[in-house]
Amino acid sequence: MTQLPARRHLLAAASAAALALVLPAQAAGDDEALPLEAARDALARRSAIVFDIREPDEHARGVAPGMRLLPMSQIGQRLAEIPKDQPVILVCNTQNRSKATARALRERGWSKVRYAAGGMSEWARRGWPLAAPR
């Protein structure tokens, strides 16, 4: 059981390193947290694109309806899917990976990227809707 968090930590570090290699650094930006309620409201109103950056084994436990699945390990290869001209919210399990990824993207020109405080673990704890991944 302790191997899974260690694996995720290594995966997050490897993904951050991959982003650093793929994206040229620009001026650092603010990586503000967005309250989970605000992220849920933005998802419902479609006023932001919300990416669930957890890995497929985590998605299997349930995803929020309407979130786009973009595993953190694939972001470097799928950057074109993340718009620079629209609000983007990143969500992971607890907010650690989404915070690091938001910071990396903002440092490289994505000025409208934020992360959801609390992540999907808090979403599930609150009993908000979850669905099978598609």
Can you give the residue ranges of every domain in the chain?
3-125
What single-letter amino acid sits at 126? R
- Cα 51 from chain centroid? 5
Taken in order 44, 28, 70, 60, is the CA torsion positive or negative? negative
- Confidence check: pLDDT of 97 > 70: yes
**What's the pLDDT at 32?**
86
Catalytic residue among 34, 82, 88, 92: 92
pTM: 0.78
Paired tokens of 113: 């990227």
Least confident of 16-30, 44-58, 110-124: 16-30
> For the domain 3-125, what is the CATH superfamily, name and number?
Rhodanese-like domain (3.40.250.10)
Say whether pLDDT at 28 is over 50: no
Note the Cα 119 to chain centre separation in Å: 9
Beta bridge partners of 115: 33, 90
Does residue 85 carry a catalytic annotation? no
Which is nearest to 98 in space by CA: 83, 120, 129?
A: 120
